[in-house]
Structure 1
């Protein structure tokens, strides 16, 4: 029987956010990332979208005993999609690899009411910096669409449940790349209660 693995391309690249065994760098061909909002969540988040000309880096990790329950709960707004033939990895044994993605008919553009969270971006970029270095983190930005979306600066009171403490140089990297991408950052005082963004939510 093939060993079950997942391919992570966002927060799952940050190994501080999970303890799945045997994490390995890998590449997913035929996909890229995009920031999207759906009616299933209050904020925008990363999803993978098909793109035959693109390849993205990420991490694979083992799902012991084929027990997907915890990961399915974490990725509850996504569909789990077979992707074994699209993933280049260093493993020698027979594996089956899945990737999580939001169905295309549930995609919506982020808005000021449903922005990206800076605490979430921080976690994702920290993961890429630590696994793939600055060049790999730059490739993350280059292979991700949707940087024209608004970003809520929630660092002082992180709303992302798996937020991490960044080193100063990691924070500087994130801020610099967001500036280069001309990302519009919304400060907390600009968010009104009427915007409907709760202080906490199931991410």
Structure 2
């Protein structure tokens, strides 16, 4: 875990009190995509999850935008020693925004918590030229299924905006660099929800 010193008290492992945390709401919910081992399910208030694209990336990804009426599920994970550079590099299209006052979590203390959001004015709606990758969406769905079960996957689809965006079906040759193998049940779960939101899948071409 990036060399962090862990403290064990009566069984559960907790991070040092100086560790900061991030709130993940997309691929970061899937623990297989990162090395931040100390993680917990959590909820973020005041932000809405939406599909967007940025000139810094060729395809669309999830971001969050302010919305006082919205609450979304996600995962908080400790960043040992508040050492952010590696995660900032992964989330290079995003700004890191303080969010500790808006996150509900099971920790006994109140650490610094940040959420990554594409700055206002720096993102646009997905398009045929900038589609959602199905291999990326599969990773997100797998993460929510593992953390929150089928009900959590349903909430993810219900609380995410922008399902009119085109989705590039790249399952046969995944383009997302952190893609994960899906079980048959996980694939069916994703496909059922895509059908419910009337998702528009487009065929991948070599």
Q: Which has the higher helix share?
A: 1
* Partner Cα separation in structure 1 for residue 25 and residue 181 of structure 2: 20
The residue aligned with 1:195 is none
1:54-85 CA-to-partner distances (Å, cap 9, x unmatched) read 00000000001211111001101000000010
The residue aligned with 1:92 is 108
1:29-75 CA-to-partner distances (Å, cap 9, x unmatched) read 00110000111110010001111000000000000121111100110
Do residues 183 (structure 1) and 196 (structure 2) align?
A: no
Do residues 111 (structure 1) and 127 (structure 2) align?
A: yes
* Partner Cα separation in structure 2 for residue 40 and residue 94 of structure 1: 33
1:145-190 CA-to-partner distances (Å, cap 9, x unmatched) read 000000000011101000000000100111111111111100014x
The residue aligned with 2:50 is 34
Q: Would you say how many aligned residue pairs link Structure 1 and Structure 2?
A: 190
Question: Structure 1 segments of 4 or more deviating over 3 A?
Answer: none
The residue aligned with 1:73 is 89
The residue aligned with 2:167 is 151
Once the two structures are TM-superposed, the CA of residue 94 in structure 1 deviates from its matched residue by 3.4
Once the two structures are TM-superposed, the CA of residue 21 in structure 1 deviates from its matched residue by 2.6
The gaps in structure 1 that reach 5 residues or longer are 192-203
The residue aligned with 1:82 is 98
TM-score, normalised with respect to structure 1: 0.91
* Partner Cα separation in structure 2 for residue 66 and residue 76 of structure 1: 17
The residue aligned with 1:11 is 27
The residue aligned with 1:44 is 60
Q: Secondary structure at the match of 2:109?
A: coil
For the 8 Å contact 2:18–2:81, the answer to whether it is kept is no
* Partner Cα separation in structure 2 for residue 176 and residue 170 of structure 1: 10
Q: Secondary structure at the match of 2:72?
A: strand
Do residues 20 (structure 1) and 59 (structure 2) align?
A: no
* Partner Cα separation in structure 2 for residue 156 and residue 35 of structure 1: 23
TM-score, normalised with respect to structure 2: 0.90
* Partner Cα separation in structure 1 for residue 150 and residue 71 of structure 2: 18
Q: Secondary structure at the match of 1:106?
A: coil
Do residues 164 (structure 1) and 180 (structure 2) align?
A: yes
The gaps in structure 2 that reach 5 residues or longer are 1-16
* Partner Cα separation in structure 1 for residue 54 and residue 110 of structure 2: 35
